């Protein structure tokens, strides 16, 4: 573990063991992009392999954690970690990067790509995880959130997965991360230009519930014929008296492409408009990528007399007292007692830490 | 008066089989043309080809736009074809379930074409939808009901409202009253006659029912085996048929 000095183990107050690196924004981001097959050598073979798991089990730090089918690896003591850096092979990553470049060039347009089998089921973030794998460099610091929380199953496992197969540093602090993979939320902390947000998308086609034919939805996109989307909003108002769509609220990107923001609450839609951070969307099962480049206009659809509105609460977070964050309602006992807490655990934790200091 | 639609030598073949062959006619603004003939005579093929939903094998169709320019429909791009279908034309199908969006309410069905044209004011959409439901004799309180709960006749009237709400200049109708019982047919025909007069629509209507032609159309075209066998004023054709097939058709109408 020659380079393990740069890592420090941090057993956080929440009991989550994870590695953080003393992070300085890397000016080298992107240098590896054009290299195709050219990672000098997978870091695993250099002994830089490092994860929260191996740190805890340092005696077996050089042994592969997953038995592989290498002829020598199985049943022998010879390390046979056959994963490429960040799991995917370099050809696949190149294919993904090309698709991502196209997606960035045409904001909101769904680019087809050859989605791979990933070691997690469809619906758990196979699209997001492939985008992350294509973007990760050895100097990246990864944060993964699920419904705003860093400590849920999906988030913990994807974070651990990349710590294992790429040896990158992970963090729970939004400000420290260079790459944030997210499911269902955008962090409350404002993002910066040197950060990338990767969304997991179950259904990239916002028109799908109204138009099941893929050929037809593609034609509608090509002709920017989006009257249909308002039929859905009309139905909402007719049935509920207001636009009841509360998540996956359709947006128009750069005045051109109707786009699904993934199932984030509409509370987060305004954060997408002119965001300094690049936002990338991956739908693994549907095999589509799309992007919202930095500082792009993102409008949420609405009617003139029923304008777009975000959720509001009469409560404040009962842990940190925040009145402007997205709140989860949590049932805390079997008598129906409820409490409202921030869905963004990092935001909430930092506010509590500041209040204590 | 200049024509709205010019059809010249239009043919549509399905491989070796003839759908319709060498059909020519003009349609003028405010005119309702009926195409009659038995099942399989090529009426619907002709209608779909004229409406640019099928590509013609030979011949051409020209349409004069609102701004007076003539459009060659065969050379139309998909974008222009859809724009025409959205802004200037309407299409009423035989089975209202094909023309309606069944998983949204009646009001949304009527308002959809308006939203496609860019109207974004919910209150206005609502008012227009309500007034159109009343025009086609559907109780306006049913505006938020799903069309699946409507009777066949109501569904057909809803489809008519949905098609006419944008005040198209030209409407294609494919047997709009087939499959409905006689009293419901009578109401829909009455409604269509009134709306066609009020809005000054031009329409091409396909039917196998000569009574429909008699009631609505000034001019009628009789088709057999994909070809037009007789064309002329409706009363003339029905009262003094010249072609043997037309004579057969007229004589086979049941009279009570």
Q: Tens digit of pLDDT for each residue in A84-121?
A: 899 999 999 999 999 999 999 999 999 999 999 999 99
Give the structural domain span for A111. 1-311
Give the per-residue pLDDT at B196. Answer: 84
- Give which of A211, A212, A230, A252 to mutate to test B binding, by max B Cβ within 10 Å: A230
Min mean pLDDT across A136-150, B107-121, B173-187 is at: B173-187
Give the per-residue pLDDT at A219. Answer: 94
- Give which of B120, B123, B145, B146 to mutate to test A binding, by max A Cβ within 10 Å: B120
Report yes or no on B117 lying in a domain.
yes
Tokens of A237: 């108002």
A244-276 per-position pLDDT tens digit? 999 999 999 999 999 999 999 999 999 999 999
Angle at CA B62, nearest 5°, toward B36 and B96? 45
Q: B110 to chain A nearest CA, in Å? A: 10
Q: Model confidence at A40, in pLDDT bands (50, 70, 90)?
A: very low
Q: Model confidence at A74, in pLDDT bands (50, 70, 90)?
A: very low
- Rounded Cα gap, residues A149 and B104, in angstroms: 36
Q: Model confidence at B1, in pLDDT bands (50, 70, 90)?
A: low
Report yes or no on B161 lying in a domain.
yes
Check residue B93 and report its DSSP letter.
-
B143 to A238: CB separation less than 8 angstroms, yes or no = yes
* Under 8 Å between Cβ of A318 and A274: no
pLDDT greater than 70 at residue B5: yes
**One domain, residues A228 and A185:** yes
One of A128, A148, A317, A349 is an active-site residue; which one? A317
A269-315 per-position pLDDT tens digit? 999 999 999 999 999 999 999 999 999 999 999 999 999 999 999 99
Report the residue from A210, A232, A303 with minimal CB separation from B122.
A303
Report yes or no on B29 lying in a domain.
no
**Nearest CA among A135, A125, A141, A176 for reference residue A282:** A125
Give the per-residue pLDDT at A143. Answer: 97
A225 to B116: CB separation less than 8 angstroms, yes or no = yes
Q: Model confidence at B181, in pLDDT bands (50, 70, 90)?
A: confident
Number of domain units in chain B: 1
Report the residue from A223, A235, A304 with minimal CB separation from B82.
A223
A303 to B101: CB separation less than 8 angstroms, yes or no = no
**One domain, residues A173 and A186:** yes
A231 to B112: CB separation less than 8 angstroms, yes or no = yes
pLDDT greater than 80 at residue B202: yes
**One domain, residues A188 and A227:** yes
Give the structural domain span for B144. 100-167
Which residue is listed with tokens 């509409």?
Answer: A266
pLDDT greater than 50 at residue B124: yes
State yes or no: is A320 an active-site residue: yes
What's the average model confidence in pLDDT over A156-170?
92
Give the per-residue pLDDT at B256. Answer: 54
pLDDT greater than 50 at residue A167: yes
**One domain, residues A220 and A239:** yes
Q: From chain A, pick out residues whose CB is under 8 angstroms from the CB of B82.
A: 223, 225
Report yes or no on B104 lying in a domain.
yes
- Judge whether B108 is closer than 8 Å to chain A, CB to CB: yes
What's the average model confidence in pLDDT over A127-136?
96
Number of domain units in chain A: 2
Report yes or no on B24 lying in a domain.
no
What's the average model confidence in pLDDT over A125-144?
96
Q: From chain A, pick out residues whose CB is under 8 angstroms from the CB of B117.
A: 227
- Judge whether B144 is closer than 8 Å to chain A, CB to CB: yes
Q: Model confidence at B255, in pLDDT bands (50, 70, 90)?
A: low
Closest residue of chain A to B112, computed from CA coordinates: A231
**One domain, residues A270 and A347:** no
3-state secondary structure of A65: coil
Sign of CA dihedral A263, A308, B102, A258: negative
Q: Model confidence at B78, in pLDDT bands (50, 70, 90)?
A: confident
Give the per-residue pLDDT at A82. Answer: 67
**One domain, residues A16 and A158:** yes
Q: From chain B, pick out residues whose CB is under 8 angstroms from the CB of A211.
A: none
Within its chain, how far is the Cα of B68 from the centroid? 22
Question: A273 Cβ partners below 8 Å, 6+ apart?
Answer: A297, A298, A299
**One domain, residues A321 and A210:** no
Q: What percent of chain A has pLDDT over 70?
A: 77
Report yes or no on B37 lying in a domain.
no
Give the per-residue pLDDT at B178. Answer: 82
Check residue A190 and report its DSSP letter.
P
Q: Model confidence at A125, in pLDDT bands (50, 70, 90)?
A: very high
Residues A32-35: contacts with CB within 8 Å, 24+ apart? Answer: A32/A137, A33/A97
Q: From chain A, pick out residues whose CB is under 8 angstroms from the CB of B120.
A: 230, 302-304
Strand arrangement, sheet containing B219-224? B89-92, B170-174, B202-207, B32-36, B219-224, B227-233
pLDDT greater than 80 at residue A77: no
Give the per-residue pLDDT at A76. Answer: 43
What's the average model confidence in pLDDT over A68-75?
43
Report yes or no on B163 lying in a domain.
yes
Which residue is listed with tokens 């070796």?
Answer: B16
Angle at CA A255, nearest 5°, toward A252 and A259? 25
Q: What percent of chain B has pLDDT over 70?
A: 98
What's the average model confidence in pLDDT over A128-150?
95
Report yes or no on B118 lying in a domain.
yes
Query: Which of the two residues, A300 and B199, has the higher pLDDT score?
Result: A300
Q: Model confidence at A42, in pLDDT bands (50, 70, 90)?
A: very low
B54-66 per-position pLDDT tens digit? 999 999 999 998 8
pLDDT greater than 80 at residue B131: yes
pLDDT greater than 80 at residue A57: no
Give the per-residue pLDDT at B39. Answer: 87
Q: Model confidence at A71, in pLDDT bands (50, 70, 90)?
A: very low
- Rounded Cα gap, residues A146 and A328, in angstroms: 13
**One domain, residues A234 and A345:** no
**One domain, residues A350 and A256:** no
**One domain, residues A220 and A342:** no
What ipTM was reported for this prediction? 0.86
3-state secondary structure of A251: strand
B111 to A210: CB separation less than 8 angstroms, yes or no = no
Average pLDDT, chain A: 82
Residue spans of beta strands (DSSP E) within B37-85: 58-64, 70-72
**One domain, residues A221 and A347:** no
**Nearest CA among A205, A195, A198 for reference residue A173:** A195
**Nearest CA among A255, A202, A207 for reference residue A228:** A207
A305 to B122: CB separation less than 8 angstroms, yes or no = yes
pLDDT greater than 50 at residue A201: yes
State yes or no: is A50 an active-site residue: no
Question: A195 Cβ partners below 8 Å, 6+ apart?
Answer: A177, A178, A179, A180, A277, A278
pLDDT greater than 80 at residue A46: no
A303-350 per-position pLDDT tens digit? 999 999 999 999 999 999 999 999 999 999 999 999 999 999 999 999
What's the average model confidence in pLDDT over A188-206?
96
Give the per-residue pLDDT at A18. Answer: 46
Give the per-residue pLDDT at A246. Answer: 93
- Rounded Cα gap, residues A256 and B234, in angstroms: 50
The strand pairing partners of B232, in sequence order, are B220
**One domain, residues A254 and A327:** no
* Under 8 Å between Cβ of B188 and B156: yes
> With a CB-CB cutoff of 8 Å, which residues 236-255 of chain A face chain B?
237-239
């Amino acid at each position: 573990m020659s380079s393990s000095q740069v890592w420090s183990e941090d057993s956080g107050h929440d009991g989550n063991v994870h590695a953080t690196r003393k992070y300085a924004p890397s000016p080298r981001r992107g240098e590896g992009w054009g290299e195709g097959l050219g990672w000098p050598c997978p870091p695993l073979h250099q002994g830089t392999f490092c994860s929260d798991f191996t740190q805890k089990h340092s005696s077996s730090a050089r042994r592969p954690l997953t038995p592989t089918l290498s002829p020598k690896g199985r049943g022998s003591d010879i390390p046979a970690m056959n994963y490429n850096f960040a799991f995917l092979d370099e050809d696949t990553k190149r294919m993904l990067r090309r698709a991502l470049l196209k997606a960035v060039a045409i904001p909101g347009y769904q680019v087809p790509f050859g989605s791979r089998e990933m070691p997690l089921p469809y619906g758990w973030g196979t699209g997001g995880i492939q985008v992350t794998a294509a973007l990760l460099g050895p100097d990246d610091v990864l944060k993964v959130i699920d419904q705003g929380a860093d400590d849920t199953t999906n988030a913990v496992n994807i974070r651990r997965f990349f710590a294992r197969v790429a040896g990158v540093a992970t963090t729970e602090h939004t400000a420290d991360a260079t790459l944030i993979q997210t499911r269902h939320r955008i962090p409350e902390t404002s993002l910066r230009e040197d950060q990338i947000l990767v969304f997991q998308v179950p259904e990239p086609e916002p028109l799908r519930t109204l138009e099941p034919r893929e050929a037809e939805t593609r034609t509608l996109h090509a002709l920017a014929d989006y009257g249909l989307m308002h039929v859905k909003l009309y139905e909402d108002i007719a049935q509920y008296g207001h636009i009841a769509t509360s998540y996956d609220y359709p947006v128009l990107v750069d005045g051109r492409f109707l786009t699904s923001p993934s199932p984030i609450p509409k509370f987060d839609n305004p954060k997408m408009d002119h965001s300094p951070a690049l936002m990338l969307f991956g739908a693994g099962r549907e095999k589509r990528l799309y992007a919202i480049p930095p500082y792009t206009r993102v409008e949420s659809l609405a009617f003139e007399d029923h304008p777009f509105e975000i959720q509001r609460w009469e409560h404040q977070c009962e842990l940190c007292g925040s009145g402007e964050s997205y709140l989860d309602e949590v049932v805390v006992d079997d008598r129906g007692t409820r409490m409202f807490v921030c869905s963004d655990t990092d935001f909430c934790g930092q506010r509590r830490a500041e209040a204590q200091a | 008066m200049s024509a709205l639609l010019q059809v010249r030598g239009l043919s549509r073949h399905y491989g070796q089989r003839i759908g319709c062959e060498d059909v020519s006619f003009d349609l003028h603004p405010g005119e309702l043309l009926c195409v009659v003939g038995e099942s399989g005579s090529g009426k619907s093929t002709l209608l779909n080809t004229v409406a640019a939903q099928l590509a013609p094998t030979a011949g051409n169709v020209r349409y004069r736009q609102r701004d007076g320019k003539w459009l060659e429909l065969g050379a139309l791009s998909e974008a222009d074809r859809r724009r025409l279908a959205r802004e200037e034309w309407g299409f009423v199908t035989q089975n209202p379930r094909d023309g309606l969006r069944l998983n949204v309410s009646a009001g949304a069905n009527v308002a959809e074409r308006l939203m496609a044209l860019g109207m974004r004011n919910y209150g206005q959409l609502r008012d227009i939808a309500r007034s159109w439901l009343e025009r086609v004799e559907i109780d306006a309180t049913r505006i938020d009901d799903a069309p699946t709960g409507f009777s066949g006749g109501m569904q057909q009237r809803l489809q008519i409202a949905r098609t006419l709400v944008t005040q198209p200049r030209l409407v294609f109708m494919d047997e709009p009253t087939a499959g409905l019982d006689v009293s419901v047919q009578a109401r829909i025909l009455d409604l269509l006659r009134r709306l066609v007069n009020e809005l000054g629509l031009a329409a091409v209507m396909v039917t196998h029912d000569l009574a429909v032609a008699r009631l609505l159309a000034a001019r009628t075209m009789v088709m057999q085996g994909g070809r037009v066998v007789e064309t002329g004023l409706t009363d003339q054709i029905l009262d003094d048929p010249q072609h043997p097939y037309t004579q057969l058709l007229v004589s086979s109408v049941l009279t009570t």
